[in-house]
Amino acid sequence: MMTSDRNQTRKALTRCFFRNNHAAAVLAMAAVVLNTPLNLLISWQMQQLIDIAAGTPAAFSLAGISASLLLSFALMGVIMAVGCYARPLFIRRAVQQYRDYAFEELTRKGTGTFHKENTSTYLSALTIDTVSIETNYLTALFTLPGSFLMLAGSFCLMLYYSLPLTLAAAAASLLPLAASLLAGRRLAVQEKKVSDQNEYFLAELKDLLAGFPVIKSFKAQPEAIRLFVRCNAASQKSKCSANRTRSILQNLCAASGLLALFFVFLLGALLAIKGYGVTAGVVLVFVQLMEMAESSISQLPQILANKNASNALIDKLASSLSAGQEQGGIPAPHTLRDSITLENVSFSYTPEEPVLKNITYRFDAGKTYAIVGNSGCGKSTLLQLLQGSYMDYQGHICYDGKELCCFKPDSLYDLISVIQQNVFLFNSSIQDNITMFREFPEEQKERAVRQAGLESFLASKGADYLCGENGSSLSGGERQRISIARCLLRSTPVLLADEATAALDAATAFEITSAILSLDGITRILVTHRLEEILLRRFDDILVVKDGRLAEHGTFDSLMKNKAYFYSLYTLSQ
Interval 85-133: pLDDT, tens: 999 999 999 999 999 999 988 888 877 777 777 777 888 888 888 988 9
Q: Out of 171-180, 527-536, 543-552, pick the least confident.
A: 171-180
Mean pLDDT of 20-35: 91
Closest CA to 320 of 6, 4, 101: 6
Beta-sheet pairing, 339-350 with 394-399:
antiparallel
Higher-scoring residue by pLDDT: 436, 538: 538
Residue 274 scores a pLDDT above 70: yes
Higher-scoring residue by pLDDT: 149, 248: 149
Distance CA 530, CA 270 (A): 96
Q: Out of 193-202, 225-234, 295-304, 530-539, pick the least confident.
A: 295-304
Strand partners, 541: 369
pLDDT tens figures, 361-403: 999 999 999 999 998 899 999 998 998 888 889 999 999 999 9
Q: Residue 324's pLDDT band (boundaries 50, 70, 90)?
A: low
**Structural domains of the chain sorted by starting position, each given as residue range(s) with its CATH number in brackets:** 2-322 (1.20.1560.10), 339-573 (3.40.50.300)
Distance CA 17, CA 453 (A): 48
Cβ pair 382, 545 in contact under 8 A:
yes
Cβ pair 307, 136 in contact under 8 A:
yes
Q: Residue 515's pLDDT band (boundaries 50, 70, 90)?
A: confident
Give the pLDDT confidence score for residue 195 in this predicted structure.
77
Give the pLDDT confidence score for residue 119 in this predicted structure.
78
Cβ pair 474, 454 in contact under 8 A:
no
Give the pLDDT confidence score for residue 184 in this predicted structure.
60
Mean pLDDT of 196-200: 81
**Distance of alpha carbon 411 from the chain centroid:** 24
pLDDT tens figures, 438-497: 888 888 888 888 888 888 888 888 888 888 877 888 888 888 888 888 888 888 899 998
Longest dimension (CA), the chain: 119
Residue 547 scores a pLDDT above 80: yes
Q: Out of 46-60, 69-83, 159-173, 186-200, pick the least confident.
A: 46-60
Mean pLDDT of 223-244: 85
CA distances 142 to 27, 77, 79, 292, 515, Å, are 11, 18, 14, 16, 61
**Distance of alpha carbon 211 from the chain centroid:** 23
Whole-number percent of the chain with pLDDT over 70 = 91
Mean pLDDT of 503-518: 81
For 297, half-sphere exposure in the C-beta direction (CA atoms, 13 angstrom radius) is 30
Give the pLDDT confidence score for residue 1 in this predicted structure.
43
Higher-scoring residue by pLDDT: 433, 165: 433
Strand partners, 202: none
Closest CA to 393 of 537, 254, 548: 548
**Distance of alpha carbon 242 from the chain centroid:** 23
442-451 vs 476-490: helix crossing angle, rounded to 10: 130
Residue 46, phi then psi, degrees to nearest 5? -65, -40
